[in-house]
Amino acid sequence: MQLDDVRLQTDQITLVANGVFPGGAQDASLTLHAQSRDLTEIGRLLQNDVLQGPADLVLKAEGPPEAVEIRSQLNATSGHIAIQGGHLRIAGHAGVHRVL
């Protein structure tokens, strides 16, 4: 499935998706970008006071259907997390079998 700058926006978050989803005949090349205005409610639910303020998440999935590579970066006021080199394995139309 191909997405071209699909945008969803609420008062608290903006999501933008662009590219080819994993699992089809084509190599995946998908970027999801989420911007949250405030993580305070998530922090409250998780009982973690560090989760406050705006956050920016970028998730990229690229590669052939048998070994899609996942990279992501989360930036928030309190710090950032980067994950690179994870693989998503997809078998036929059954969906995701394993995420590393």
Query: What are 25-77's pLDDT values in tens digits?
Result: 778 888 888 888 887 777 788 787 777 788 888 888 888 877 788 888 888 87
Distance CA 62, CA 95 (A): 16
What is the domain count for the chain? 1
Domain span at 58: 2-99
- Whether the predicted model's global pTM rises above the 0.85 cut: no
Which residues sit opposite 54 in a β-bridge? none
